[in-house]
A and B are shown apart, each in its own frame.
Chain A
């Protein structure tokens, strides 16, 4: 096909990749730093989407604003769930089977509750600017994709800065490497982990609001994202945020090209195949941790 087509597909891929990075960063924190395999993270994202939908439909609030507002209740939710997780599992060293089952159950509950409340129809938000498209020569950049992607990058950079410059941020990185050293500095590892997990879920809330700006959502979309976020996390190197961004962009582009040239029916398979391939061929850092 034409160069125009290719370039547009690439651009769309890069933009959606930015968004994927924003979704994944929560997992990078919870899984990369805290070693908590929170597979319900995408379900929280979808919950965020629906929350933004309600705010938009009910009170006419702009989805971007909703996203920012939602970070607070989602942060608190994250803290709550970390406490449950800690008391039920981490405390007793039973994170393996039970931890996975816990988050799987949680993911399922969220999805079913959303179906019960909203049904399986697609929901979307309305905001004036979302319908425009910015044209650069032959490059079509729809704002509904461009703006969330830019915000996603901002979120990403903000979290990166938080982790590398602030005291709490560096404590989070430290706790992933040596929790006992942290307690020697009279910082309780549990508090730091709770903070980190709260941030992780808060980012999910914001990402959800961005998602519903990009595309209409329905409850089961979260499942597609499980493969994407873990594929990105693994490929990018766990806990390496720059790696996560690159991997996210890569995945976004490959998906976009596949979708453009072969049709969208194959899209879910791309990320999951990616994941399988990564796990099989490049499992460095995953063996025997």
Chain B
């Protein structure tokens, strides 16, 4: 496990260096989106693939991270006009918060939302949980649309600095590097869960919740932890988004495209382990970038939908399933397989 973590970080660093060496600005922009999806897909799979609970509300968790950043970004300005001078001064001193802190805040908030949502809905059958996640996403979106402080439906503009204090690096490069790091961390977490007691517990819940309880697995507790971790990672992916995109408004931030990709990428790549979401997000993410540039953005959306349905019907084990043919029996790994 320590070896794997080290390798993951080295690969992330190597990729970063490679991108810097190539120097194509567009690659950084496109790469950011793809790597963002690596995080999101990996996060989704922790709850969906490992535990068997489908989350349709990915957009909401992503948006919580993004809007947390927006809210904090606007705080200095707001506090100047509305808070007592002492407080405003303190805030002006610590703000603007560096992105890594924002990521942690976004992750924390999303994790808490995940926990709350889980507490409300995890006692229910899987189907109702899925629908409830959709419901939650709509409720959160409506709340944000009506919250003028973060811009409501008009949106909010976030200006990003041109360079960072870190080696005077271009801000987009910095964001890309952070996202790579986050992806590496997400994958390390996912793999860590797979092989742990926690992972076995999740697998047993996925396969047969009643039998899992009978075997002594505290199902609710594990499911809650799972929702919290999954939600937190999604929130962390969303936190830097305002700085990347510059202008944040509810429709695109809560967009269903996140939900669809979050499901499509793991299911196409394979839900059995950490490698599946990675494969799926790299392929589908890149495909989308290409399609939206060469054809249209709607075409790229359609493509994802069609690929999702095709894989679900024809290749339920995803790309990992193709490799599985080479190994008839599974050893050691906590695998989801084509069972659901």
Contact = CB atoms under 8 A, between A and B. Distances in A.
A288 B212 CA distance: 13
B125 A289 contact: yes
B326 interface: no
Nearest to A266: B142
B90 interface: no
B22 to A, nearest CB: 33
Contacts of A227: 131, 134-135, 138
A77 to B, nearest CB: 15
A109 B309 contact: yes
Interface residues of A, number: 43
Given A286-B124, A287-B123, A287-B124, A269 B138 contact: yes
Interface in A89-142: 94, 96-98, 100-102, 104-106, 108-109, 111-113, 115-116
Looking at chain A's contact residues, the main secondary structure is helix
A24 to B, nearest CB: 13
Interface in A243-289: 265-266, 268-269, 272-273, 275-276, 279-280, 283, 286-289
A74 interface: no
B52 A96 contact: yes
A156 interface: no
Contacts of B263: 101, 104-105
B145 interface: yes
Contact of B121 (A98, A226, A269, A279): A279
Chain B interface size band reads 35 or more
A269 B140 CA distance: 8
B338 interface: yes
Interface in B236-254: none
Given A94-B340, A101-B54, A289-B125, A276 B301 contact: no
Given A105-B264, A112-B298, A96 B120 contact: no
Query: Which 7 residue pairs of A and B lie closest in terms of their CB atoms, listed nearest first?
Result: A269-B142, A272-B135, A105-B309, A109-B305, A105-B308, A108-B305, A88-B313
Interface of B: 48, 52, 54, 56, 120-121, 123-128, 130-132, 134-136, 138-139, 142-143, 145-146, 210, 256, 259-260, 263-264, 267, 271, 298-299, 301-302, 304-306, 308-309, 312-314, 316, 338-340
Given A275-B132, A276-B121, A276-B132, 12 more contacts: A101-B308, A102-B313, A105-B312, A108-B308, A109-B302, A112-B301, A269-B138, A269-B139, A272-B135, A272-B136, A276-B120, A283-B128
28 contacts: A37-B131, A88-B313, A96-B340, A97-B340, A101-B267, A104-B259, A105-B263, A105-B305, A105-B309, A106-B305, A106-B309, A108-B301, A109-B309, A112-B298, A112-B301, A112-B302, A116-B299, A223-B138, A226-B134, A227-B135, A234-B128, A269-B143, A279-B124, A279-B131, A280-B120, A280-B121, A286-B125, A288-B125
